[in-house]
Amino acid sequence: MKCKCLIMVALTSLFLLAGCEADSPLASLKSSTLSTKYNNIFWSSEQQKNSFLWKQATDFCSQQNDGTKPNCNVVNQLVGFSILSNVSKNHPHHGFSSHDVPRP
């Protein structure tokens, strides 16, 4: 009997954990639980496509900087990496090079 009860508790726990996953990508952004489905790979793909969903996510997450929305942290980090990448492409020399040093 104990074994059956433990199995039922374990199955119920798994069901509850599985039920915590957000139903949609935008719903995951509002959640306080880190999504395993709508993760950095998912959002990176949306970013590469520059999809409407990506635009919605960045609009929503730009207002969420208090750290309570872990899925927005993922989106905001990707936005930050994108900005840094664009800066590097537009300004390849950070600091001095031999061409920047005045010659006597």
Q: How far is CA 99 from the centre of its chain?
A: 40
In a domain, 30, yes or no: yes
Q: Is the pLDDT of residue 61 over 60?
A: yes
In a domain, 11, yes or no: no
In a domain, 71, yes or no: yes
Tallying the residues shown for the chain, one arrives at 104
What the block records as the tokens of 94 is: 């950070």
In a domain, 99, yes or no: no
Please compute Rg for the chain using Cα positions. 22
pTM for the full model? 0.63
| Owning domain of residue 62 | 24-90
The residue type found at 19 is G
What's the pLDDT tens digit per position in 12-30? Answer: 444 444 456 789 999 999 9
Structural domain count of the chain: 1
CB neighbour class for 70 (10 Å; exposed up to 12, middle 13-18, buried from 19) = middle
Give me the pLDDT at residue 103, please.
Answer: 54
